Amino acid sequence: MMESSYVQAALSRDSTAHAAADTLHAVAAQGHGAGPAGENLFASLLHHLHDSHELELPFLHVHLPQFPPVQLLGMTIDLSITKHVVFLWLAAALLIVLALMAARSNARRRVPHGWGNLIEIVVVYIRDEIVLPNMGPGGMQYLPYLLTTFFYILIMNLMGLIPYGASATGNVSVTGGLACIAFLMIQLAAIRSQGPGQYLAHLTGGVHWALWPIMIPIEILGLFTKPFALCIRLFANMTGGHIVIVSLIGLIFIFRSPLIAIAPAGFVVGIMFLELFVAFLQAYIFTMLTSLFMGLGMKTEGH
């Protein structure tokens, strides 16, 4: 209680503190029981990571349009535009523009150059190091989907590192949607390769029919655990780095000392570089595991 009182008193003397200071002020106030009802400590500290109905721009807050909820099969669905939805659209638009720029650049030159050459390097790497080893020659028909997945996730990850930006992949609904698409593609690849009959037969695990009541539920559950792991892995990794950065910046406003601020500021710079690496790594891992799961259901050479 004494520590919370100190934080609250110190922050109230500086009305021009950063948004992180306001967050810590809310945390301290909640420690006295003055926080909003039903809001816990974690939500108060990380409220700026949550989705919202407004965009925070320099000297301006843009309120996004909201629509009445829709009732469907007993469920309430909110179709209002949120901050993460806007950045989803921005990522899609940016991906289309960059892809067209690379295509036009390569169409004008026999030898790729500049931006077109960079994109071709990534495309060739994903084709030769991910698709062909995991899926075989039959996986080439799914290469456009895997390329789109990689670049789309990468752009969304990087948008969370720019000022006033937001990483849509830090929203479990977004990663869940990507995982649902991956689930459909995994099953589609398996059915097209094996045929419906053999696809259903693999659910038995090749065991005696007496064990089917045990094996079939386990195999069906395994179909869903793979995309679920993709969803949670991407969400957790893209959220964890932001939590660490907020925590380090929060130390500056707790101690309010220039000497103490040097160490957290240095660590924040290091974490930002690590986040840049993680943005590429998570896009690669999501794409690689998706191709691997698709390849497991396909009749590849030596499978």
The confidence score (pLDDT) of residue 23 equals 44
DSSP H helices in 137-257:
143-159, 172-194, 196-201, 212-255
Listed by start position, the domains of the chain span: 84-296
Mean pLDDT for the stretch of residues 250-277: 83
Report yes or no: 170 and 239 within 8 Å, Cβ to Cβ: yes
DSSP H helices in 39-113:
41-45, 83-108
The confidence score (pLDDT) of residue 20 equals 42
Instruction: Inform me whether the pLDDT recorded for 156 exceeds 90.
Output: yes
Q: Which of 189, 215, 190 is nearest to 203 (CA)?
A: 215
Mean pLDDT rounded to a whole number for the chain? 80
Of residues 151 and 64, the one with the higher pLDDT is: 151
Per-residue pLDDT of 15-69, as tens digits, reads 333 444 444 444 444 444 334 433 444 444 556 677 888 787 877 778 888 888 8
pTM of the model: 0.79
Report yes or no: 151 and 95 within 8 Å, Cβ to Cβ: yes
The confidence score (pLDDT) of residue 299 equals 64
Give the range among 90-99, 209-218, 224-233, 246-255 with minimum mean pLDDT.
Answer: 246-255
Per-residue pLDDT of 220-262, as tens digits, reads 998 999 999 999 999 999 888 888 887 887 777 777 777 788 8
The Cβ of residue 216 has, within 10 Å, a number of other Cβ atoms equal to 15
With residues binned 3-state (H G I as helix, E B as strand, rest as coil), the percentages for the chain, rounded to 5, are 75, 5, 20
The confidence score (pLDDT) of residue 7 equals 36
Give the pLDDT band of residue 74 (cuts 50, 70, 90): confident
Instruction: Inform me whether the pLDDT recorded for 125 exceeds 90.
Output: yes
